[in-house]
Each structure stands twice: as structure tokens, then as C-alpha cells.
Amino acid sequence: MKAMRYLAVAVAALAISACSDSADSTGPYTVEVTAIPASTQPPRGPSGTHTLLGDVADDGEGRIRTLTDDELTQAEQSIDALIEKADEPLSLCTGTEAMSVEIRNAENALLYDKVVDPCSEGTEWSTANSLYDLLG
């Protein structure tokens, strides 16, 4: 059943949303990063989702905390790097862990909505993975 849920998340997130040119890409942001495990690995925690709302991180397992100034700066740098790549297509591979990333601004405009994995060109995979770890 969990595999079906992760598959549903992956399929839904594969419909990459185009970002609006008029959208304000400044924070505060609402960020949701979901780890989608490969078929051969266990999920990362019960929900696998880490969330950032402004400066508050939620690891999906009951641990909610306010990010330090340094952590918030690091998160904003990661978010900005991902937003810059929002309109670039990705190639995904099979059999590897992936990350579903959704970023919205204060007006709830969608700035980034992609599934990335180690086969993604550039730095989107490492940036998403780092952001997931930072919010956990």
C-alpha cells in the first residue's frame, strides 16, 4: 500500500508545473520536500515529507523547530537555486530514490514543482536532498 502511495506522489509530481513569470519569487516560502524511496529501500520515516513554513521546519514526525539564521540562509539559498531551474526539463532514471519538491511564495503562487533524482542534470538533486536534510 505504501508503494502505491509513493507511486501516486511520483506520478502526480511528474506533471511539472510551469512557473508564472509574474510570480514573486521572494520569501517567506512554503516548501514541501518528500522523499520517494526506490523499490528496494525503506521509506525515510513515516511520512517521508519535510516542510518549511516561513522559518519553521517540520520533519513530519512531530519535531517542529524554528531554523537558526544560518539554517534559514542556507534554506533560502537552496530554494533560490531550485527556483532558477523551475522551467528546465529533467530526465529521470528508474530504481533510485527521488525527491518531490514544491515551493510556494507568500501569495501561494507555485514557484517550483518537480520530482528530481540522481539522474537529474545539474545540481537540483543535491540541492533538494540537502534541503530535505536541513528541514529534518
pLDDT in tens, 18-71: 333 444 556 688 999 999 888 888 777 667 889 999 899 998 888 899 999 999
Integer angstrom CA distances of residue 29 from 65, 88, 104: 16, 21, 6
What is the β-pairing status of strands 98-104 and 64-66? unpaired
| pLDDT at residue number 40 | 84
pTM: 0.74
Residue spans of alpha helices (H) in 15-136? 69-84, 124-135
As beta bridge partners, residue 102 has: 32, 113
Domains: count for the chain: 1
List the domain range (segments joined by +) for residue 89.
2-135
Contact 90, 124 (CB under 8 A): yes
Evaluate the omega torsion of the peptide bond into residue 28 and state whether it is cis, within 30 degrees of 0.
Answer: yes
